[in-house]
Chain A
Amino acid sequence: MNGKLYWKQKLPVIFLNFLCMTALAIFLWVTGNSFDSIFLILLIWAVILTAYLVMSYYTRKVQIEKLLKLAEQLEERYLLSEVMEKPERADDQVYYRLLKLAGKSMLEQVNEVRRERTEYKEYVEQWVHEIKTPITAMKLLCENNHSQVTKELLVELEKVNCYIEQALYYARSEHTEKDYSVREIRLFDVVHQSIAENKYLLLKNGVGIDLQETDDTVYSDEKWLCFILNQLIVNSVKYRTEQPILKFYIERQGNQVILCVQDNGIGIDADDLQRIFEKGFTGKNGRKALQNATGIGLYLCRRLCDKLGIGICADSKGSGTILQLIFHINDFIQRVQG
């Protein structure tokens, strides 16, 4: 509470008292009282008044500071009116009511938006599941009727599926708590799965695959990891050079297992490197490669990695890029649940 302002607002009271004191002094003087007794009366008046003013200042200050502290401790501050005590002063009670009203209407708004969001998210998920049936049908049709055209179509279908997965995981990345299950997985099983999901894209672009297969296992969610690897593979193919090669290998550093995805593509500029995981960032590559870079893929990867407690980082020296997924072995499960 601003003390200066408080006292300034108390000035009329002090002034009024001063006025009354003057009037009383004149009255007492006229009725023939001695100077000493008038002085004593005025002194007592002044002491009582000062004591009252100081006390009311401090009680008010304590009250207000308690409220401020309560608000600071609250995680959702808009719930303050639900937590605080009902004030006793008449004008405070009015403010209290106003606060309650404001809080209530905001809660209604928040709930409305939240409900809409959840509904929309559920709709996206449902939509994704429904769209997968015709995609499966198309894929089966293509694979049962092998020809040059259907092969091209299969590449496009893989792309469609990739974008659809993006939408699904984007919707899911907001409420992740219930959507993943952590279990022990063999990293290279997931790598194989990702390659299989992008088989036609990789074959069409003549991408060589170099696996240094090991049996390292980590605790993570297989589907999410597969999605992340898919994004990395699609990126590598997008920004490839002649004779593209995609290399997967595992490095161990202390209690970290690092899955590295290395390509010999056009690389990433040092200036851009810091920002590639930002939402909507496309950088020089996104613009010059004439690809429709959306700046969503890596952003989503980072988000999902954060939720899963996986570290993700990119490195590029002129040409070629290495993306690393860093798994912590010891404290991994605590970190996910925490």
Chain B
Amino acid sequence: MKYRILIIEDDVVIQTQLRNLLAGNGYEPEVINDFPVSLEQLKSFQPHLILLDIKLPGSDGFSVCSQIRTFSNVPIIFVTSCNTDMDELNSIMLGGDAFLTKPYNTAILLAKTASLLRKAYPVTGQEILSCHGVALHLESSKIEYEGRQTDLTKNELKILYYLFKHTGTICARADIMEYLWDNQLYVDDNALSVNIGRIRDKLSAIGVNDFIKTKHRQGYTI
């Protein structure tokens, strides 16, 4: 099931780009175009999470937030360019779940979104990704092939996760590095090569060979 995310933001470019970003990351985004915000529209969309700007035409994000809180506990992330402490305090007092200041880091935005969704709608069962018979266990940080398992380090798990999420496409080294940095793993060029080498060793130990292919001058693919 795709999570529905409602974007309440009056800047058209940010609106569209946020929609693209969220759609590209497996969410179902919806935007509100009529201000002041109508609660009917909001209710009918039934979002799982709301991205709320503070400065809105007609009314401000705070009042919208308190109105929403009268009938729903949906997670709300405040996004704003005013990074004063009063705003932050207000947003938390009124029931906002997170506070991001512009210009926000998309990685942080996505991470906050994901963690709030996970908290609000707990998923039962382990998350497992698989590709060509190889299964990646995210919770236990293991990789499995035909019943044989091996442990992965944090770096290896994240690299594999990125590759599994982009099966069939070529992942540039720079993109993988960026992804790792977004996850607070500050891997440089050499370390990435070392990590890929280790992953290949581990894979061949459980009987998978030539799983990660190197595309010369382009990156890796599975």
Contact = CB atoms under 8 A, between A and B. Distances in A.
Contacts of A132: 81, 101-103
A191 to B, nearest CB: 9
B79 to A, nearest CB: 8
A199 to B, nearest CB: 5
Contacts of A203: 174, 177-178, 181
A133 B102 contact: yes
B84 A137 contact: no
Interface stretch (B18-26, B32-40, B42-50, B207-215): B18-26
A223 B83 CA distance: 9
A180 B88 CA distance: 11
Contacts of B20: 144
Interface size range on A against B: 20 to 34
A56 interface: no
Contacts of B174: 151, 203
Contact of B181 (A141, A144, A195, A210): A195
Contacts of B182: 196, 199
A212 B170 CA distance: 33
Given A135-B102, A140-B21, 8 more contacts: A132-B102, A133-B102, A143-B106, A151-B174, A157-B103, A197-B105, A203-B178, A211-B186
B153 to A, nearest CB: 15
B24 A144 contact: yes
Interface in A247-268: none
A129 B102 CA distance: 9
Contact of B17 (A133, A137, A161, A209): A137
Interface of B: 11, 13-14, 17-18, 20-21, 24, 81-85, 89, 101-108, 174-175, 177-178, 181-182, 184, 186, 188-189
A172 to B, nearest CB: 9
Contacts of B188: 206, 208-209
A76 interface: no
Given A143-B21, A161-B103, A206-B189, A129 B177 contact: no
A133 B11 contact: yes
A137 B15 CA distance: 9
Contacts of B103: 132, 135-136, 138-139, 157, 161
